[in-house]
Amino acid sequence: MAYDQHRLSRAPRSDINVSFEFFPPNSPQMEQNLWEAIDRLSPLNPSFVSVTYGAGGSTRERTHITVSRIVNETHLKPAAHLTCVAASQEDVNDVARAYWQAGVRHIVALRGDPQGGVGTHYTPHPQGYATSTDLIKGLKSIADFEITVSAYPEKHPESASFEQDFDALKAKIDAGATRAITQFFFENSHYLRFLERAHKHGISIPIVPGIVPVQNFKQTSGFAKKTGASVPQWLADRFEGLDDDHATRRLIAATVAAEQVLDLLDHGIKDFHFYTMNKADLVYAICHLLGLRPTEHHQKKSS
């Protein structure tokens, strides 16, 4: 039997790009966890770090505080999430102007989940942006933000077809988006097939895979069902019987995520976006496997 000795994941690499997603803390302990994660991951020199924005703008103030601290206290490039759910255009524009004034030049522009939760009907605010495409146009009229948007390898839960998804993505690109980050997935075939389809539709912007290291299988699988991401049986089998075995569960989680990213690397993928859940260890280990090493670039700005 012949074995392939030329796997890309086993060759020295200097062209890997990573980005990390965090969420704003809502308690002193969570704030400590967040900044410990940022301190741990920042020496890996990510392309950017993003900070999420709660449903209906529920974390608006905390998101702004977190992003502002990243601008003022670190050398990282922050991307602030911004949605148009339950807010007027003027309210959204005020947030965007505040971000620009704070030094933020990159926005992750999302429509946002319906106020009733995933799976319920989405109703735009009467004076708000109706779609993420409208939001992007509004942001571009305010300032020359870099715009990242979402993509769905297994189709958006509200879309009737992939054709509808690709039409929506092309409209966002025409409005000014220059990068897409995918919903997380566990079967790489979903993502690779989505890339092929996107290219056939004339979509050429980077479509970066969103990777979620499974810190808690039950929690992750529950979230996946709400967002339309499938959870394969083989993944459930790997975590079976480990609910009360935290140490082994972490080892399995690291193995599963490493297997996924190394396979993507073997398929020529070199950009990765990690949903960190404000925890650094698993993400740091996976980045190490990708060939990333800490630089002498310090996280804290000198005073």
Q: What is the pLDDT of residues 189-200, one digit of tens each?
A: 999 999 999 999
Q: Structurally, how many domains does the chain consist of?
A: 1
- Give the pLDDT band (50/70/90) at residue 1: very low
> Of 111-120, 122-131, 266-275, where does the model show the most confidence?
266-275
Q: What is the pLDDT of residues 5-34, one digit of tens each?
A: 578 888 887 899 999 999 999 999 999 999
Which of the 8 DSSP states describes residue 127?
Answer: T
- Give the pLDDT band (50/70/90) at residue 76: very high
pLDDT the model gives residue 204: 96
Q: What angle do CA 192, 106, 156 make, to 5 degrees?
A: 40
Task: Flag whether 1 is in a domain.
Answer: no
- Res 115 pLDDT > 50: yes
Task: Flag whether 296 is in a domain.
Answer: no
pLDDT the model gives residue 202: 96
Task: Flag whether 263 is in a domain.
Answer: yes
Spatial neighbors of 139 by CB under 8 A, at least 6 apart, are 82, 96, 107, 109, 145, 147, 176
Report the 10 Å Cβ neighbour count for 6.
Answer: 7
Q: Which two tokens stand for residue 10?
A: 């086993």
Q: What are phi and psi of 87, to 5 degrees?
A: -145, 145
Catalytic residue among 21, 158, 196, 259: 21
Averaged over 68-86, what is the pLDDT?
A: 93
- Res 121 pLDDT > 80: no
* 296 annotated active-site: no
Task: Flag whether 123 is in a domain.
Answer: yes
Nearest CA to 95 among 79, 83, 113, 86? 83
- Res 116 pLDDT > 60: no
Q: What is the pLDDT of residues 241-275, one digit of tens each?
A: 998 999 999 999 999 999 999 999 999 999 999 99
Nearest CA to 104 among 129, 143, 71, 126? 71
pLDDT the model gives residue 93: 95
pLDDT the model gives residue 295: 87
- Res 2 pLDDT > 80: no
pLDDT the model gives residue 231: 95
- pTM of the complete model beyond 0.75: yes
Averaged over 52-62, what is the pLDDT?
A: 75
- Res 56 pLDDT > 80: no
Residue span of the structural domain in which 189 resides: 15-289
The CATH number that applies at residue 73 is: 3.20.20.220
Helix (H) or strand (E) holding 273: strand 271-275
Task: Flag whether 182 is in a domain.
Answer: yes
Are 62 and 91 a contacting pair, CB within 8 Å? Answer: no
